[in-house]
Amino acid sequence: MLFGLLAFGVLKTPAEHHLLEEERACGFQLAQVNNNTRAQLGQMGFIAALSGFRAVMADFLWIQAGNSFESTDWARLEVFLHSATQLQPRAVVFWEMAHYHMAYDAAIAVKGDESRQPNQALRRRAEREFHQIGEGFLLRGIQFNPDNARLYECLGNLYKNRMQDHLKASQSYACSAQKPGAMGYVRRFAAFELAKVPGKEQEAYEQLKELYLEGPQQRVPTLLTLLKELEQKLAVPEDLRVSNPQNP
């Protein structure tokens, strides 16, 4: 009987492996339960996470992250957010909130916290580090959720508002625009950000022109102003300018 079971095992093992790979390809079984998670969850929590209660354990860590956030313990918050996102990597809201807490809440808090760090240069450095941590959360989130428009949009916002990297911001918005469920404005944002990159004005102008020609729904004030500015900067002939009311 034991040999029978072992024979069945020999047959089932490759099939199990194949099914696991197929589940992963469909977005399942992507969680990483490792020693860091074990340290956060404790022995019982770790066993629970391995025994089919991963989502519940991720929620538990998320609630603990909330406590760290309230006590502005940013280092601890990062550890909890890291473990929660590892346990539930397909939960977009985890990645989005984790990046926001790091790149915005924590970064702004350390930048202005003179009581913990009197040296302004060091505070600025800490702020940049938190921006990078936030960026890391989004990049990892995108690895696990490559078709999610929202995470790319958040990445664009981060590069634009916090890291002042307009080229990367433009690329991120452009990626977001290609994903299902993208917001209508991200294509415009991609062009707006590209217009801020030295040497990319012509490319930005082409994109803005294309958007303009799509119809009135795209002709928001920022787009019209930018078009006009770029036409002047690029010395586009009057008869070719889309912002000229004389032209069709």
Partner 1 sequence: MALAHNTFLELVRQKVFYFLLLFALLIIGSSLFTVEFSFQSPLQVLKDVGLGAMSIFSWLLGLLCTAMLLPKDIEDRTLYTILAKPVPRFEYITGKLLGVFMMIGLSILLMSVLFAAVLGIREQQELAEIARITPVEELEAALAAVRASAFQWNLLAGVALIFLKAALCSTLTLLLSTFATSSVFTVLISVVVYLIGHVQGIAREYWLRPGEVSLLVKGGIAVMALLFPDLQLFNVVDEIAIGTKIPLDLFLQVTGFGLLYTVVYFMVAQVVFATKEL
Q: Closest distance between partner 1 and the C-beta of residue 4, in Å?
A: 7
- DSSP conformation letters of 26-63: TT-S-----HHHHHHHHHHHHHHHHTT-HHHHHHHHHH
Please give the helix or strand (H or E) that residue 62 lies within, else none.
Answer: helix 54-70
Nearest-5° Cα angle at 95, 89 to 99: 150
**Does position 26 bind partner 1 by CB under 8 A?**
yes
Q: Pick between residue 59 and residue 113 the one whose CB is nearest to partner 1.
A: 59
- Closest to 188 measured CA to CA, from 219, 158, 165: 219
**Does position 55 bind partner 1 by CB under 8 A?**
yes
DSSP symbol at 163? S
Task: Give the interface segment with partner 1, choosing from 72-80, 92-100, 108-116, 169-177 (CB under 8 A).
Answer: 92-100
**Does position 29 bind partner 1 by CB under 8 A?**
yes
Task: Give the interface segment with partner 1, choosing from 46-54, 132-140, 165-173, 212-220 (CB under 8 A).
Answer: 46-54
Rounded to whole angstroms, how far apart are CA atoms 71 and 236? 56
Rounded to whole angstroms, how far apart are CA atoms 40 and 203? 48
Q: Candidates 32, 42, 66, 210: give the one binding partner 1 (CB under 8 A).
A: 66
Q: Which residues bind partner 1 (CB under 8 A)?
A: 1, 4-6, 8-10, 12-13, 15-17, 19-20, 22-23, 26-31, 47, 50-56, 58-59, 62-63, 66, 69, 88, 90-94, 97
